[in-house]
Amino acid sequence: MDEGEAMRLVSHARVARLATIDSEGRPHVVPVVFAADGRHIVTAVDHKPKTTTALKRVGNVAAHPRVSLLVDHYEEDWTRLWWVRVDGEAKTVSTGSEFDDALARLAAKYEQYRDQPPPGPVIVVAVDRVVGWSASAAGA
């Protein structure tokens, strides 16, 4: 799968898994909603119930900014399976135009954010590597 096709699939997907590394080098993976725009992917801390507001993923990005997002599609017809992994350098933003732009992109994709925008922070991933696989391309 070429990078253009991979990013097209990512941009239309509704959920991804964000992988970060904690301060002791252990992986931490959580499902996230996100918006992709060219070479950046954004996700935000939103209002969904959480056990704490000090989310591990935010601290992990501060300690180790290298992250991966995995987006995949599964169905019983295995000829339609695909996955894309996006690697990049992440940072968190809580104010300013980059924060506002990220919230606008998320609200454009997710109706739930239009009435109740996420309070943040926002994690911004600068994409530097995209790899993917699809069952339909594997047989080509």
pTM: 0.90
Strands, sheet with 122-134, edge to edge from the N-terminal-most edge strand? 27-32, 16-21, 66-73, 82-93, 122-134, 40-44, 35-37
Architecture of domain 3-138: Roll (2.30)
**Residue range 113-137, pLDDT digits in tens:** 999 998 879 999 999 999 999 998 7
**Over its length of 140 residues, how does the chain's per-residue pLDDT go in tens digits?**
899 999 999 999 999 999 999 989 999 999 999 999 889 999 998 766 556 556 889 989 999 999 999 999 999 999 999 999 999 999 999 999 999 999 999 999 999 999 999 887 999 999 999 999 999 876 54
- d(CA 26, CA 2) in angstroms, rounded, equals 31
